[in-house]
Structure 1
Amino acid sequence: MQVRSFQLSDYSLVTALLEDVLSPECCAQTMEAFGRQLSWDSDLVLVAQEGDAIVGMIIGTIDHNRGFYYRVAVHSDYQRQGIGKALTQGLRQRFVQRNVSQIFITADEHNEPILPWYESLGFAANDFFRSFQKLSIVAG
């Protein structure tokens, strides 16, 4: 499995992954944020590739020297294999390279169920950024 930057040729595979893994409402919000993040800074969108398949992806953003994990998605057949952790570590490296002072997890209604997973990675409750603003407003 390889974690790498998103490439335009990944678009249809990433879209299919998000449609498969996320609820319709979450997928629509994520696709909107995904498009905006690609226009701002595509280096903060990473994919996990296994062979020819995209099995996971993560969207991050930076706002005022703070890094945010916005959305992580891993194909159901590949969950609990360390792919989500590898994606968050890859994005963390990008944040460190850019001298981000703090890293937060966007804790919207769709991420609430996986906050315990982030805690298992060492994040604490004060690392969760709860806001009703969407990524397009937070980072814009």
Structure 2
Amino acid sequence: MQIRSFQLSDYRSVAELLEEVLSEECCEETMGAFARQLSWDSELVLVAESAGVIAGVLIGTIDKQKGYMYRVAVHEGFRRQGVGRALVSTMNNRFRQRKVMKVLIPGDKHNELLRPFYESLGVRPIDFAQLTHPLSIVAG
């Protein structure tokens, strides 16, 4: 498995993955943030690829000196194989390279479902943050 930055040729596969694993409401919100992040900094959209198949995606962003892991999605056939863990680890490395002081997980109702996953990573500092505006509007 390889973790790498998103490439334009990944768009269809990533969009299909998001549609497949996220609720309709979550997918709509995520697609807006995904498009916005690609226009700002595609290096913070990571994909996990295995044998030419997109196994997972992590959309991150930086706002001032805070890094946000906005949304992680892993294809059902690749779950419990370390894909999400590898995506988070790689994003943390990118955040460190950019001198991010704190890593946050937007505490929306969709990410709340993943709290046990994030807590199992034991990576610090990770905190859930309640945002007053959708990430796709306030960060950049």
Which category describes the TM-score, using the shorter chain as reference length?
Answer: over 0.9
- Residue type of the partner of 1:130? Q
Query: What SS does the corresponding residue of 2:110 show, helix, strand or coil?
Result: coil
Question: d(CA) in 2 for partners of 1:117 and 1:138?
Answer: 26
2:93 paired residue number:
93
Once structures 1 and 2 are overlaid, which stretch shifts more, 50-59 or 115-124? 115-124
Shift of 1:124: 7.2
Over the aligned positions, Cα root-mean-square deviation in angstroms equals: 1.5
Matched, 1:103 2:103: yes
Count of matched residue positions in the alignment of Structure 1 and Structure 2: 140
What fraction of aligned residue pairs are identical, expressed as a percent? 57
Question: d(CA) in 2 for partners of 1:79 and 1:24?
Answer: 20
Once structures 1 and 2 are overlaid, which stretch shifts more, 17-26 or 116-125? 116-125
> For residues 46 and 129 of structure 1, do their structure 2 counterparts lie closer, same or farther at Cα, with a shift above 3 Å needed?
same
Q: Is the CA contact 2:102–2:125 (under 8 Å) kept in the aligned structure 1?
A: no
1:7 paired residue number:
7
1:82 paired residue number:
82
Question: d(CA) in 2 for partners of 1:34 and 1:93?
Answer: 20
1:50 paired residue number:
50
> Unaligned regions of 5+ residues in structure 1, if any?
none
Q: Name segments (4+ residues, structure 1) moved above 4 Å.
A: 123-126
Query: What SS does the corresponding residue of 1:68 show, helix, strand or coil?
Result: strand
- Residue type of the partner of 2:15? T
1:70 paired residue number:
70
- Residue type of the partner of 2:94? R
Once structures 1 and 2 are overlaid, which stretch shifts more, 120-129 or 96-105? 120-129
TM-score by length of 2: 0.95
Question: d(CA) in 2 for partners of 1:121 and 1:53?
Answer: 25
